[in-house]
Chains A and B, each alone.
Chain A
Amino acid sequence: MKISYREALRQALREALSTDPRVFLMGEDVGRYGGSYAVSKGLLDEFGPERIRDTPLSELGFVGAGVGAALGGMRPIVEVMTVNFSLLALDPIVNTAAALRHMSGGKFSVPLVVRMATGAGRQLAAQHSHSLENWYAHIPGIRVLAPATVADARGMLVQALADPDPVVMFEHAQLYNLEDELPDDWQCDITHAAVRRPGTQLTLISYGGSLPKAMQAASELASEGIDAEVIDLRVLRPLDSDTLTASVCKTHRAVIVDEGWKTCSLAAEIMARLMENCFYELDAPVARVCSEEVPIPYAKHLEDAALPQVAKIIAAVRGMLNV
């Protein structure tokens, strides 16, 4: 049976809340409202207000409280409405959660999970549409996840909660309605990238909300006789360089699809790693399809033009193969 990405996340939350009394969910509108993206709908009735905890509009306060609760023996899952709002909570995540273990000489771990929506495509304009995963991926001491499939939405939370260190999980807003079969083996690890489509002629590297676009591009390219491999990064920090290197050593070409802006992006980091790890395997300069360097606009035609799209990915591939 097919379920939605949203439902997969809800199942994961429900299972976590049912099996571990230390787990609780807190964030803006996660309770009575049912979650701003309806992920936690129904959980308040099932688990009550102590464990499905509505917070004030106070990102710094409640994410910081999540850090404290994790230190105090709980397993908090903190939901921040979008990555845009999470900037108000950068201090507890970056200065405290990420740094605490090292700064304390290994005395404290922070088993905190922070979930947030990211990405554009819903005509919500600049302050609700940005993709800032790379900011978090820059920080040592946290693990950064980006589930792009229904199975990963179901599986990653389990591993995130089992991780003794802080985990930040990005859920692309365009994926919540994505439907797919939930395989029996939805259990996953949170250390490796995944090959979503094997191929021989070039590697498309993507993650999160851009993965379906990369997959569609690969499918259209296949109908033209171009065989692309698609890699889903899944884990944005620590990056799984080995899987990327192995793929590019096989295909000798790479195009990166990343909804972040080019400048200082994850795409830039991946290009650098490929250059460091397999420069002499490359038959062409690595290319990337990123967002245009503008705050994401409201109007649909402008928003579409600002974002990576299937046509842009195909154009980048054709340019690389001279076809």
Chain B
Amino acid sequence: MTAPPESGQPLSLQLLADMLRIRRMEEKCAELYGAGKIRGFLHLYIGEEACAAGALRALAPEDNIVATYREHAHALLRGVPLRAIMAEMYGKAAGCCRGRGGSMHLFDAARRFYGGNAIVGGGLPLAVGLALADKLQGIARVTACFFGEGAMAEGAFHEAINLAALWRLPVLFCCENNLYAMGTALARSESQTDLCAKAASYRVAAVEVDGMDVRAVHEATRQATQQVRAGAGPFFLEYATYRFRAHSMFDPDLYRDKAEIEQWKQRGPIHSFTAQLKAAGELTEEAFLALDASAEAEVADAVAYAEAAEMEPIADLLKDVYTSQETS
């Protein structure tokens, strides 16, 4: 299996490599879905790569990560092996959740990756509790919670950010604002479309950043994380981004103009960053192709692994409902 890029590389190349790994993984997922290998709901991240790539590199390995159902990228960059992610999508025993979770429920205890939540806003109170546990135990850890702007219409957002601010908990609220809650545009679902103003009303520091610019995401997240780690209480980051694909594989994508999508694609996070690096002399075409080939090889390896993996035995269906293995 191809190893992830070495940390000895310059940060810019690590960020680019991260985005390429996400993109190649997601493109393959779409293909496998079309081939019937992956079923269920599949929410792709294509177009939003700069958010996960910039943010995850700003967090420490001991931090907690909470994500949504569009979480393949967060899991991957957190270090969940792509083999385990792919096997999970195949519903195999070697999957990171033994085939019980699928695309929307990736978890990894050792990497403090807490999902994988398919209830919009459901991860937000969870993140507050993780941060509370750390505070009560005197652990200087940050809990980063990723969610879409659609979650900000949920009571869970307001209850969670109120608690986090009230108790000055180390929560980094990472809002990936891709402008559409499934098919409903922000302005059609929320009376206040200024998301930072919403967060700020809870007396939480709130910053908007260009979510198509991986370096901007990284720098803003790094600074916010520093503040949270220093005990300043929660911080809200809005990554202004866009998904190039439909909400899920079932979505005919009829609610937005093709022209709008094309316009955002012009600002695609991978090619614009690649162009920047080339112009600055930090990247050659050969180096780019090598990174991309490495990402493709990693994906191909994971697919072969998932194909060959065993199914979870039906005899284990009732396992892990209770820790004590009791059933009723």
Spell out A's residues near B (CB within 8 Å). Answer: 24, 50, 55-56, 58, 60-74, 76, 91-92, 95-96, 100-109, 140-141, 143, 163-165, 191, 237-239
Beta-carbon contact of B137 and A68 below 8 Å: no
User: B97 touches which one: A64, A95, A105 (CB < 8 A)?
Assistant: A105
Q: Which of B3-11, B19-27, B102-110, B269-277 contacts A (4 or more CB under 8 A)?
A: B102-110
Beta-carbon contact of B320 and A101 below 8 Å: yes
Question: CB-CB < 8 A to A55: which residues of B?
Answer: 163
Chain B contact residue count (CB 8 A cutoff): 47
Report the number of A-B residue pairs with Cβ-Cβ less than 8 Å: 159
Question: CB-CB < 8 A to A109: which residues of B?
Answer: 323
With A71-B133, A72-B130, A104-B105 known to touch, is A165 a contact of B162 (CB < 8 Å)? no
Spell out B's residues near A (CB within 8 Å). Answer: 64, 95-101, 105, 107-109, 114-117, 119, 122, 124-134, 136-137, 155-156, 159-160, 162-163, 166, 319-324, 326-328
Question: CB-CB < 8 A to B137: which residues of A?
Answer: 72-74
Instruction: Name, among A55, A56, A65, A101, the residue most crowded by chain B CB atoms within 10 Å (CB to CB).
Output: A65
- Name the distance in Å between A54's Cβ and chain B's nearest Cβ: 10
Question: CB-CB < 8 A to B64: which residues of A?
Answer: 72
- 23 A-B residue pairs with Cβ-Cβ distance under 8 Å, sorted by A, are A58-B162, A60-B125, A61-B125, A61-B155, A61-B162, A64-B159, A65-B160, A66-B129, A95-B122, A101-B321, A102-B319, A102-B320, A103-B116, A105-B96, A105-B98, A105-B100, A106-B98, A107-B107, A140-B327, A143-B322, A163-B323, A165-B323, A238-B328
- Bound complex: CA of A106 vs CA of B326, how far in Å? 14
- Bound complex: CA of A181 vs CA of B243, how far in Å? 65
Beta-carbon contact of A60 and B159 below 8 Å: yes
Question: CB-CB < 8 A to A165: which residues of B?
Answer: 322-324
- Bound complex: CA of A239 vs CA of B327, how far in Å? 10
With A60-B156, A64-B156 known to touch, is A141 a contact of B321 (CB < 8 Å)? yes
Instruction: Name, among A56, A76, A102, A108, the residue most crowded by chain B CB atoms within 10 Å (CB to CB).
Output: A102
Question: CB-CB < 8 A to A92: which residues of B?
Answer: 122, 125-126
- Give the 5 A-B residue pairs with the shortest CB-CB distance, closest first: A68-B129, A64-B125, A72-B133, A61-B159, A238-B328
- Name the distance in Å between A106's Cβ and chain B's nearest Cβ: 4
